[in-house]
Amino acid sequence: MTARTDLAAHLASLDLPQGLVATLMTAAAACVEIRQVVAGGALVGALGASGAVNVQDEEQKKLDVIADDLLTEALLACPAVAGVASEEKDTVQPSANAAGEYLVLFDPLDGSSNIDINAPVGTIVSVLKAPSAQPSEADFLQSGRQQVAALYAVYAGQAMLVLTTGKGVAGFTLAPDGRWLMTHEDIRIPADTKEFAINMSNQRHWAESVQRYVDGCLKGADGPRGKNFNMRWVAAMVADVHRILMRGGVFLYPWDKREPNKPGKLRLMYEGNPMSFLVEQAGGKSATDGKQAIMDVIPTELHQRVPVVLGSANEVDQIAAA
């Protein structure tokens, strides 16, 4: 069997600051622990509701809380981390590390609705430079272009970790010995696709432009697009975007009129920015309303929401023109 590069060796080859390497290795190690709890499921008492509601006014699952605690504790103990922000918490949490250089934002367990049915879930992480030693919430409100790294782990048939530090995208599979081993050296998203991911149950609530785009896809070879499309929807952004990185496609979670004052469902800082960084580094595109790149949005609040379109570049352009 050919020897594979592990995550530590890959990061060492990129000539990154040691603090960033330490931060990423800490996050990756926490993902291994989360994977173990996810794999245990009912055997370790990790399924079901926690009885609490998070800052998003969503019912927390037990695994949401466990994953949040694992990531938070590990990262705050890392000397390179100045503070963290979680999708599950109201406010940021500064560390006691006087020399902390990095801020880490994360969605500890994306796809909570999938937990109890044993469908894919994952963890999403975004890393920023810390402007100050004792960061405030304002220090976290940096645009996605300021990210120095982003990763996600998807817990499915295999556990995979997909990473960018702004030098392309690499994928790693979790080995039985607990190491992340490189299995996908240079992930690239094809510019064209015949696959889209969207929650069709919300169709009647979408803006007209999204309606037109999806209608064109559904009409297949006889419609304006002149080709047949497949639709996929896992109900976990991390899993749907992972599929796009593996074989192409486009993911949409648009604004809809059920809550017209909310710009979107997904969170800019914990989902939109890190996933857009990964997609763009793999040759894809991202957009909010179909025109502005997600990473160009200037954040104004920690839990800001944003409409999301990302994936194969030519398909994102088609959505913008719809």
Binding residues for Mg(2+): 87, 107, 109-110, 271
Give the C-alpha separation, 188 to 270, whole Å: 23
Among residues 149, 181, 135, the alpha carbon closest in space to that of 17 is found at: 149
Among residues 93, 163, 100, 145, the alpha carbon closest in space to that of 299 is found at: 145
Q: 76-111 as b/e, with b when 16 or more CB fall inside 10 Å?
A: bebbbbbbbbbbbbeebebbebeebbbbbbbbbbbb
Contact 251, 310 (CB under 8 A): yes
Give the C-alpha separation, 245 to 283, whole Å: 10
Q: Which residues are annotated as a binding site?
A: 87, 107, 109-113, 199, 265, 271
Q: Name residue 170's amino acid.
A: A
Give the C-alpha separation, 29 to 178, whole Å: 9
Q: Which residues are annotated as a binding site for substrate?
A: 110-113, 199, 265
Alpha-carbon distances, residue 139 vs 23, 99, 128 (angstroms): 18, 16, 9
Q: Can you list the positions of beta strands (E) in 158-234?
A: 159-164, 169-174, 180-184, 195-197, 230-231
Three-state SS for 112-151 is HHHHHHCCCEEEEEEEEECCCCCCCHHHHCCCHHHEEEEE
Give the C-alpha separation, 230 to 244, whole Å: 13
DSSP 270: I
Give the C-alpha separation, 204 to 85, whole Å: 34
